Amino acid sequence: MNLLDLLRLEWKKFIPNGTFRVICVLYAASFCLVLYLARAAGHNMTVTSNGITSHPLTSLFVYPQNWKLLASIGSWMNIFLLGFLGVFMITMEFSNRTLRQSVIFGMTRLEIAVSKLAWSVALALAATGLYILLGLGGEALDGGGMPVVGSILGFFLQALGYLFLGTLIGLLIRQTALAALSYLAYVFILESIFRWTFYFTVAKTRLLLFLPNQVLGALTPLPVPESVNHLVHSTYTRPLSPVEAGLAALVYLAMFAILFCRTIVKSDL
């Protein structure tokens, strides 16, 4: 089967599913709501010091930082909703025995794996398209300017990365609730515990910033001035550059895809 046929099968499989549709609607609605709140905060937040009133968030709305800020806002939806969507889609397949049925009906295991990965790419592209539309429709939080290619690529790689990570964890655990908890635990707790434990007990190395969740988060950083970064971060914790984060993300995406394919081909469906 060609790639388009595989994508059509995935479309027909998931679009009728109520949970899938709810998650997609929540993603779009949450993105719009947080965008609205960020815009309101940017316009209304003022600080008065020594009789002088200032707007501390103004610099975040200046091109091109405004597009970076929008990507940083969207990163939370990527972490929570796209990652969970990846978990849900693959665990639903095991619950409904549709993967096994696909093999019985003549699909190869490699075709099944490719269809899942291609569907994740399509969803990441859709999320990135929403990011661009919201940016253009709201002029990137009223800051103006055309979309920034680097921010678009970073947002797409991050969306795809969390989809792949959620899908892989779901494939390894296969139970929706346990897999979702494991995904959230890894993203928000386990990797941080490992990173700081290693940092304080073994070696203060910048290589710890190349862990999967650290890399994906670095693709859409909050646009703060470079001077602030130097004050907050030491040499060992200096944030990854866009090039470093992008290259590391590509490596992890390839690793996730290969491990996913091998697991589908070798394991019992």
Tens digit of pLDDT for each residue in 6-25? Answer: 999 999 999 999 999 999 99
Q: Is the pLDDT of residue 40 over 80?
A: no
Whether residue 95 is contained in a domain is answered as yes
Question: How high is the mean pLDDT of the chain?
Answer: 88
**pLDDT given at position 203:** 81
pLDDT grade, residue 50 (50/70/90)? low
Whether residue 53 is contained in a domain is answered as no
Whether residue 49 is contained in a domain is answered as no
Closest to 242 in 3D by CA, of 154, 159, 161, 155? 154
Q: What's the whole-number mean pLDDT along residues 178-199?
A: 94
Whether residue 47 is contained in a domain is answered as no
Residue the block writes with tokens 């300017």: 145
State residue 48 phi and psi, 5-degree precision.
Answer: -110, 120
* Tokens matching residue 73: 């806002």
Q: How many domains does the chain have?
A: 1
**pLDDT given at position 227:** 44
Whether residue 211 is contained in a domain is answered as yes
Percentage of the chain beyond pLDDT 70 is 88
Whether residue 165 is contained in a domain is answered as yes
Centre a 10 Å sphere on the Cβ of residue 76 and count the other Cβ atoms it contains. 13
Whether residue 46 is contained in a domain is answered as no
Q: Are 70 and 131 contacting, i.e. CB atoms less than 8 angstroms apart? A: yes
Q: Is the pLDDT of residue 52 over 70?
A: no
Using one digit for the tens of pLDDT, what is the confidence trace for 83-139?
999 999 999 999 989 998 888 888 899 999 999 999 999 999 999 999 999 998 877
Supply the range of the domain harboring residue 194: 3-40+58-266
Whether residue 18 is contained in a domain is answered as yes
The widest CA-to-CA distance across the chain, in whole angstroms, is 75
